[in-house]
Structure 1
Amino acid sequence: MQEHRVSSWLELQEALFADSWNEALGRHRASYVFRGMPHAEHDLSTALNRRGLFVRKEKDLLRAFRKYARGTPREPLDSVWDWLALAQHHGLPTRMLDWTFSPYVALHFLTEEADLAHEDGVVWCVDYRETNRLLPRPLKTLLKREGADVFSGEMLAEVAPSISDLDRLARHPFVLFFEPPSLDARIVNQFALFSVMNGPEARLDSFLERRKQGVRRLIIPADLKWEVRDKLDQANLTERVLFPGLDGLSRWLRRYYSPRPR
C-alpha cells in the first residue's frame, strides 16, 4: 500500500486521477473506487464488526430486516445481496462498506463534517482489477463471462446464493465490489457501490495494507480541507445533489451558511 500526503488542490487532482489512462480503450477510464473519510485515523471496520458488536448477529439482523421490511421496497428484490444493499443503505449494521466510483463524491464525505475540519482527512483509492486477482475461481470466471469488473446482486447470487456460501468459497481473505440496484436517487447520484469480504469479522484495512499494488491512501491536510470544500460547492457536489430531497437541501444549507470555525 502506498501513502501520499498532498499539499495542494492541483496535486490532489493528479493523485486522484493517476493511472486513469486505459490504453486498450484509448480513454481515461480508471479502474479505481474511492472512499473519503474526514479523519485520517478512522479505520475501515464495518458497522457489523466495529468493536465486535454485531459479528455473531449478522444472520439475525438480516433475517429480521427482511421480515419487517416486506412491502417497503418499491421494486421486488431478487437476491440476498440486494436485500443486504438495502439494509446497508438504511443504516443496518452489515459487513458492507460504502464506496464510490467518483473521486469527488469521496472528497465530499471527507469535507462534509465541519466539526472535523481541523483533522487531516483521507481518501482510500483501490484498484478493483488488482483486488479481483485474489477472488476465488468461481467469482473470477463469472466476471470474465459477464465482461464485468464489479458484481451485481444477480451475478453474486449465481455463485453465492447466501452469505454463508460466499464465506465457503475460499479460506484466504478476499474483497469484491458490488454495485447495488438503483434503490433511489441517492445511490445513483453518489455513483455508489459496496465492498464485501468473506467473513463478518474480516477487516478491509488489514487486507489492503498488505497489498503492494493498486491501493493508495491520500492524506488531505486539515488546512487544505476548506479549499477542497469550497471548490466542491462551486462544482455543485453538495448534499442537495447527493441526498436529493428536503433533508439533503437542509443539510446543504446548514453547512453552507455556517461560519467557518476558527
Structure 2
Amino acid sequence: MAARTCTRLDTSLQRLGGQYHDLEHHLLRNFRKYARDTTVPAQSATTWDWLALAQHHGLPTRLLDWTYSPYVALHFATDDLEAYHEDGIVWALNYVKAAEHLPDRLRQVLRQEGSNVFTSELLQPVSSSLRELEELQTEPYVLFLEPPSLDARIVHQYALFSLMSTAQSVLHDWLMDRPELYFRIIIPAKLKWEVRDKLDQANITERVLLPGLGGLSRWLHRHYSPRSDGKVFLDDNEMR
C-alpha cells in the first residue's frame, strides 16, 4: 500500500521534469561517488542496494515507496498537518498478480525461490543494471523489490519498493490499463482527524515509524500542534 495526497503515482525522478530519464545514471553515479565517506553498503553491493539507499536518503529515483501494512499507509496519509483540508488516498496494489506481467526470466526466478517479490540478491544474477532490466522485455513492466534493512525505519515501516522497467514508464498509467491490479481508498478530509486519533492510540506514530531524534521531534511537533477544530492534539494520560 502507498499513501498519496495527489492522485497520480509518479516517481521523484519523474517529478524533476525535463529530460529526467537522461539524468538517472548521472544521479546514481554521483551519489555512489560522493557517498564513499559515509555509511554505505559493502564493496560488493549491487546496483539495487545503492538504488534503495539513494531512495531512502531522498535522491530522485525511479523507485516508489510502498508498505505491506495498511496502518503505516494510513499514517503517511494523515501525518501532514498542512494537508488536512485535502482528501487522502491510499493505493492498494496486488503485487502477486502484478508479477504475472514480468518477463519470463524474472518470473522463473520468483517461482524457483517461492517468492512474489525480489531482493537485491535475487535480482542481481538476472539483471545487474537498470539498462539490463529494460532489455529483458520491450513492453514496460513493474517489479517489487524488498530493500535491505538499512536502518530501523525500513524495518518498522514494512517497506517495499516498486520500480518500472524504464525511467519514462509511469506506474499510474500502467495501472490504468490493468484495473484488476489495484484499488484506492479515499480518506475524506473531514475524517482525517478521527483516523489520526485512532492511529495514535494504536501507537502508529512518527516516534515508532521513524526511530531517532528526528522522528521523535516530528511526533512531538504534530502532537502538540493546534488542531483545525481549535483543540490541542494531546493525550493527557500519556504526556504532561
Q: Is this a same-fold pair by TM over 0.5?
A: yes
Q: Does structure 1 residue 145 correspond to structure 2 residue 108?
A: no
Q: Measured at CA, do residues 51 and 88 of structure 1 come closer, stay the same or move farther in structure 2, by a change above 3 Å?
A: closer
**TM-score normalised by structure 1 residue count:** 0.84
Aligned to 1:110, the other structure's residue is in SS state helix
Q: Flag structure 1 segments of 5+ consecutive residues without an equivalent.
A: 1-33
Q: Does structure 1 residue 46 correspond to structure 2 residue 11?
A: yes
Q: 2:127 aligns with which of 145, 157, 160?
A: 160
Partner residue, 2:173? 206
Q: 1:169 aligns with which of 136, 158, 173?
A: 136
Q: How many correspondences in the alignment?
A: 227
Q: 1:60 aligns with which of 14, 26, 33?
A: 26
> Are 1:78 and 1:154, in contact at CA under 8 Å, matched by a contact in 2?
no
Q: Does structure 1 residue 70 correspond to structure 2 residue 36?
A: yes
Give the 4+ runs in structure 1 shifted more than 3 A.
none
**TM-score normalised by structure 2 residue count:** 0.91
Task: Spell out the pairing of 1:247-258 with structure 2 (5 A cutoff).
Answer: 247-258=214-225
Task: Spell out the pairing of 1:160-199 with structure 2 (5 A cutoff).
Answer: 160-199=127-166
Q: Flag structure 2 segments of 5+ consecutive residues without an equivalent.
A: 230-240
Aligned to 2:183, the other structure's residue is in SS state strand
Partner residue, 2:70? 103
Task: Spell out the pairing of 1:4-23 with structure 2 (5 A cutoff).
Answer: none
> Are 2:141 and 2:165, in contact at CA under 8 Å, matched by a contact in 1?
yes
CA distance in 1, matches of 2:219, 2:16: 32
Q: Measured at CA, do residues 91 and 255 of structure 1 come closer, stay the same or move farther in structure 2, by a change above 3 Å?
A: same
Aligned to 1:159, the other structure's residue is in SS state coil
Matched to 2:10, the amino acid is: S
CA distance in 2, matches of 1:212, 1:92: 30
Aligned to 2:90, the other structure's residue is in SS state strand
Percentage of matched positions with identical amino acids: 55
Superposed displacement of residue 71, structure 1: 4.5
CA distance in 1, matches of 2:111, 2:173: 27
